[in-house]
Amino acid sequence: MQRHSSRIELSQSALQNNLDFIRRKAGNDTVISSVVKANAYGHGIQEIVPMAEKCGIRHFAVASSYEAEEVIDARTTDADIMIMGILYPEDLPWVIEQQIEFFVYDYNRLKRVIEVAEKIDEKAHIHLELETGGNRTGLKEDQLDAVIKQIKKHSDQLILEGVCTHYAGIESLSNQSRIQQQLKKFGGMVDYIQSSGINPRLQHTACSAAALAFPETVMDLVRIGTAQYGLWPSPDIYNLHLLEENKVSDNPLQQVLSWKTDIMHLKEVPKGDFIGYGTSYCASRDMQIAVIPVGYGNGYARSLSNRGHVLIRGERAPIVGSVNMNVFMVDVTDIENVQIRDEVVMIGSQEKNAITIKSFTEVSDAINNEFISRLPAAINRKVVS
């Protein structure tokens, strides 16, 4: 295989550490569903799924049937798969035949599911997503009677795996009154469903932020994306953790992903010359510049121009000039004995220094999940200990 301009390393021990921490928070009886949508948040479905299975995970959540098929190809066990997002009618027969679980958030979708399941003589494994105030997807209260009637009538075509909802910004403390209203509404809707004689196997509402900070949201299953990859959903959630532990500093989560490349070229730039496209950076002294073979076309945000850093020989090297489509430049004037092909760490550790994914959010307007989920699938990913 020919080499890409950069490479990603994934730490098995970091993933194990993170999932162990989440288990302690959620409890041993709660199912952890590993959310691997968006190519496992940029980490790679093909790599993360077997890594998570080694950590004991037997349930994965995705956003589409395409991603569900990727999980099937990657898994090494009989782990369950749950589609939380779009599901085209054309894909329903395959999804039902594969016994893939999926969200039903629309009454018409439920009717279509029943028709297909009846036609192919297979049972559909469904989760009812309830509208509790997020106003995104979900069945409304006035639809419940019709839904309950269909589930009772078509018990030969349906297996009600669960009922669920999604919180509208639980990672922010400013949203807590809204979240509590959602939690109360969910409880009322579930009570109504159960009072009709229907008992779903699982109730689930918690994402990473909810599972880490709000135990009342942890039910039979938690859907964990951000936290399993070693990222805190928000500063608010991290600060709540510190308060609970009564500590000033404590980070039990470990970053799973490291992103590296090599110096492509070295250039001597005289004082007064501009560096790269345009005039955004002018050399204030005679400088040595290292050209790095990664750019916004490779997932390295252009907003890091003149703001970001990389690690070279264990030291921070600032970006100078604009991040181009496939290259950017860094100042290595004060770093001794820099050579072409020296390792460049864009995310991760080198000697005593580290660049975290979180640090990117401090110099750009991208959130953690946005930044890493944009990492191209073409970059080679390697699992390390």
pLDDT tens string 218-227:
999 999 999 9
Residue 238, pLDDT > 80, answer yes
**Is 37 an annotated catalytic residue?**
yes
Residue 3, pLDDT > 90, answer no
pLDDT in tens, 114-129: 999 999 999 999 999 9
Known binding-site positions for substrate: 136, 325
**pLDDT computed for residue 294 by the predictor:** 97
**Is 123 an annotated catalytic residue?**
no
From 153, 247, 277, 382, the catalytic residue: 277
Residue 212, pLDDT > 80, answer yes
Known binding-site positions: 136, 325
Mean pLDDT of 15-38: 97
Mean pLDDT of 145-155: 97
**pLDDT computed for residue 135 by the predictor:** 87
Mean pLDDT of 78-103: 97
pLDDT in tens, 169-203: 899 999 889 999 999 999 999 999 999 999 999 99
CB environment 230-260: b (16+ within 10 A), e (fewer) = bbbbbebbbebbeeeeeeeeeebbebbbbbb
**pLDDT computed for residue 366 by the predictor:** 67
Q: What percentage of the chain reaches a pLDDT higher than 70?
A: 98
From 25, 37, 260, 296, the catalytic residue: 37
Q: Where in the chain is the domain with CATH 2.40.37.10?
A: 257-384
**What CATH class has 257-384?**
mainly beta
Q: Where in the chain is the domain with CATH 3.20.20.10?
A: 12-245
**pLDDT computed for residue 1 by the predictor:** 65
pLDDT in tens, 289-305: 999 999 999 999 999 99
**pLDDT computed for residue 365 by the predictor:** 65
**pLDDT computed for residue 364 by the predictor:** 67
**pLDDT computed for residue 80 by the predictor:** 98
Fold of 12-245: TIM Barrel (3.20.20)
Report residue 55's pLDDT band, with 50, 70 and 90 as the boundaries.
very high
User: What pTM value is reported for the model?
Assistant: 0.94
**pLDDT computed for residue 313 by the predictor:** 98
Report residue 358's pLDDT band, with 50, 70 and 90 as the boundaries.
confident
Mean pLDDT of 56-72: 98
> Rounded to the nearest 5 degrees, what angle is found at the Cα of 224, between the Cα atoms of 180 and 111?
75
pLDDT in tens, 300-345: 999 999 999 999 999 999 999 999 999 999 999 999 999 999 999 9
Mean pLDDT of 208-231: 96
pLDDT in tens, 242-276: 999 888 888 999 999 999 999 999 999 999 999 99
